[in-house]
Structure 1
Amino acid sequence: MEESLAPVENSSEDVLSMVDVLKEENDLEEEANAVLGDSDDQNCTYPKGYVPRQALYACATCDPENLAGVCLACSLECHEGHELFELYTKRNFRCDCGNSKFSGKKCKLCPEKEETNPKNQYNQNFKGLYCTCHRPYPDPEDEVEDEMIQCVICEDWYHGRHLGVAPLPSCDNYSEVVCSDCMKKHTFLWAYALQSQETKTLVTEEANSEVDVEGISPEKTGNKVEDNSDKETNKKSQNEENCLLVNLQKGKVDINESGAFWKDGWRKKLCKCANCMAMYKDSCLEFLVDEADTVHNYEQRGRNKTASSQYEKGMRALSSMNRVQQVEVLHGFNDLKSELTDYLKKFAENGKVVREEDIREFFSGMEARKRQRATDPIPFMCK
């Protein structure tokens, strides 16, 4: 059972319980996992090739005219103090840090790289611009509070109000979004988007057994041997009968001018017949039938790195304390939070990246101050 602590004497601030503090930290941890997922903060990802999905950054300081992306480790090691655009995640990308796009500046973590990564895909995000309005985020000139949503196909980010859907569904009612431009480009998706989430699969299973007619004469079979053109026609007809998309398109399909919001599991309902798989390949959409491609799976891999969250560890520790100890821990946490905020302000003001050694320095100083307080003589109080 979760138990709140006794009120702390403070008339100017809301009272927090230790559980509130742990929940707040858990929310911050969840946000970090969402951005970093299973990305490596120590090693450049270049040797891994075109990584299926990773956190990426674009550096406006090195060369603002070139579209280039760097991995998490390079953003920390090679671009400390630079103006970086956080790109969240991109698929099938290879780190550009130190290649020809950086005017001779070598990558500190992986110096030997090819001049370019020809399979990388770039969009306006690499210049710090987003949406159909081509504006930065956050936009100092935009007074409208609006969340940014990423299209799973083009991977650009859009203001909710610019997706052409009103009112927007709540976050709990969808897991992925396809923008209006991508829906126009890949109109077959409307056949799926306009169907109920409860739509049953219309594909009929192909027969598992096949008759081998090779070497059998027409006299024995009693049938004429079909020529190749007839076989191809029959095969095409059979494929169409077994294609979920073809069956869906037999009904009325309205193509809208908006984006589409998709519920969790929608990719599993896409047809995977030979014809559709060929279409995905020709349209560079093969990732749609790959469940590992989703951001949700990327985030989950990050969460799986640790056996338990800080929230779970904190709750276990909290349950072992008495009420007085809980109050003392809460006060200690508030002091830590205040000191750490002041310490980090100088990094934000100078545009510097906070490194591991900076955090170690902070806690070393805090530990020294704690030992000093512990050895200070107790003041004599005259009654």
Structure 2
Amino acid sequence: MPQAPSDRFILLPSTYLPSRDPTSTVTLQSLIDVSDRIQDDARETLPFKFDECSYGKGHLRQSVWSCIDCGGKGVCYGCSISCHGEHKLVELWTKRSFRCDCPTTSMQPEPPAGNQVKRRRCALNPPEIQPQSPNHNNKYTHNFEGEFCRCGRDYDAETEEEAMLSCLGCEDWFHESCLNLRLPASIESEATTEQLPTPVTASSQHLGEPVPASSAPSVDAQAAEEEDDDDERVIIPSDTYDSLICSACVRSNPFMKSQAGKGGWMMIEPSSSGSWEVIGKSVTGSDSQSVDEMKNGKRALQEDEADAHAKKIKLDDATVKASSGEETSDWKWQGKGDVFLSHGIREKLKTQLDESTISSLPFPLEDGDIYEPARDEQEDQTTEEVMTQALSNLPRVQTIEALHGYQRLKNRLSEMLAERAADGRSVSKEDVDEMFEQLRSGQQV
């Protein structure tokens, strides 16, 4: 067995050893390997420093967590770890124009009269500036209660089997089946390829992270083939559209309602065959459809770039195609009513719409920068180095006691391992339990 350094500190989850077969043999090297993998995962999951609250930076596009234990308000990356690490948190991913609630009265309510419990404080802001007033400009949706999609289902990363896409407008997350991108999981296994539109390939891209269905281990080739088969059931390939706009956001804006289903503003609607079809597929070249038609029914001339700039389309000029009776018909709402914007549409809107129409849109025409805390310059530290650094921040007496306790544990563990190695015996759970009991009782061992 490869020998590990005698002073190596190993961090393992509390559930690791109890989950092992009691009759199996665990080598020290295998424990070290598990510990290294856990540290690598931790560095990947938490790559940034968490010693700063973003509240002082104002409203930002940033990663947000909802703290269910603190009333369903939102906290920044730093506060999610430093202030709410032991609370029930719901990851909401990025939210636009959001300010951390941790140092405000929204998360620091006044204790009831006569209650001796002190008002909680944000650990990353000076106590003298707390609490701040509530962030009235923050927007709180059902996501902050742990519910996602129009179906209102709770999200559990351990059990969720569907990929989810984020709406560019409200930033809610939607299951593919709830968008009619694929059949619901309950009936998908019974469907045949003849019942579905032309197979396509899908990936999450920047719209959301896929949550793969759990499956038994298999060889890479077989796994890739199974993944391809699963992707073929998605109706619109993700590389053919830029963003999702959910039905609620589409219906909230007259201009968007008029564009839904036109070229580049794709919708999924029921077909005459009883399946689903995509309408409004993007067209290119000279056949490219202008953003809208003018009030008098004549298409706006867009023959050159100067003309496109000169003719801004106003919100009250936006109408629906009269020839098909779209203005009064509900044909485009027979499906879910979601719109999948083709690539380039948002860029075109910058030159084709006036400022008032642009400001009325429920989504931005440009993606703003996402605020990220400074990267942890010490992210390559070992667990032992992190522990030593943490000890250095303790009061002197506690530091000395902790070091003495650690040294006693290290010495006794080394002695026990040496004794078992000399006798050719494995270390049992009972041996470890007895050692810790002796250390706790202060016996000489």
What TM-score comes out, normalization by structure 2 length?
Answer: 0.46
CA contact (8 A) 1:164 1:180 kept: no
1:87 counterpart residue number:
92
Residues 138-149 of structure 1 aligned to structure 2 (within 5 Å): 138=156, 145-149=161-165
Q: Taking structure 1 as reference, are residues 136 and 183 closer, same or farther at Cα in structure 2, changes over 3 Å only?
A: same
Distance 1:273 1:180 in 2: 25
Tell me by how many angstroms 1:376 deviates. 5.4
Paired AA for residue 255 in structure 1:
K
Distance 2:355 2:174 in 1: 28
CA contact (8 A) 2:49 2:376 kept: no
2:358 counterpart residue number:
280
2:142 counterpart residue number:
124
Q: Secondary structure at the match of 1:149?
A: strand
1:163 counterpart residue number:
179
Q: Taking structure 1 as reference, are residues 380 and 99 closer, same or farther at Cα in structure 2, changes over 3 Å only?
A: closer
Tell me by how many angstroms 1:97 deviates. 0.8
CA contact (8 A) 1:163 1:180 kept: no
Tell me by how many angstroms 1:120 deviates. 0.7
Residues 281-360 of structure 1 aligned to structure 2 (within 5 Å): 281-285=359-363, 287=364, 289-292=365-368, 298=370, 357=387
Choose which of 50, 58, 69 in structure 1 pairs with 2:59: 50
Distance 1:155 1:55 in 2: 12
Paired AA for residue 312 in structure 2:
N
Choose which of 249, 260, 280 in structure 1 pairs with 2:339: 260
1:78 counterpart residue number:
83
Tell me by how many angstroms 1:251 deviates. 8.9
1:319 counterpart residue number:
none
1:184 counterpart residue number:
251
Give deviations 1:96-150, integer Å, cap 9, x for gaps: 113121214322212425311121111001111111122212299xx98323322
Paired AA for residue 46 in structure 1:
Y
Distance 1:189 1:358 in 2: 61
In the alignment, structure 1 residue 271 sits paired with structure 2 residue 349: yes
Q: Taking structure 1 as reference, are residues 138 and 380 closer, same or farther at Cα in structure 2, changes over 3 Å only?
A: closer
Q: Taking structure 1 as reference, are residues 239 and 267 closer, same or farther at Cα in structure 2, changes over 3 Å only?
A: closer
Please identify which structure carries the higher helix content: 1
Choose which of 108, 130, 138 in structure 1 pairs with 2:123: 108
CA contact (8 A) 1:96 1:116 kept: yes
Give deviations 1:70-93, integer Å, cap 9, x for gaps: 111111122131111221221110
Paired AA for residue 199 in structure 1:
T
Which runs of no fewer than 5 residues in structure 2 stay unpaired?
1-23, 25-33, 111-119, 185-200, 205-236, 267-279, 291-301, 392-402, 425-445
Q: Taking structure 1 as reference, are residues 57 and 146 closer, same or farther at Cα in structure 2, changes over 3 Å only?
A: same
Paired AA for residue 135 in structure 2:
N
Over the aligned positions, Cα root-mean-square deviation in angstroms equals: 5.2
Q: Taking structure 1 as reference, are residues 59 and 284 closer, same or farther at Cα in structure 2, changes over 3 Å only?
A: same
Distance 1:181 1:207 in 2: 33
Tell me by how many angstroms 1:380 deviates. 9.4
Q: Secondary structure at the match of 1:206?
A: helix
Number of equivalences: 267
Sequence identity of aligned pairs in percent? Answer: 24
Tell me by how many angstroms 1:50 deviates. 0.3
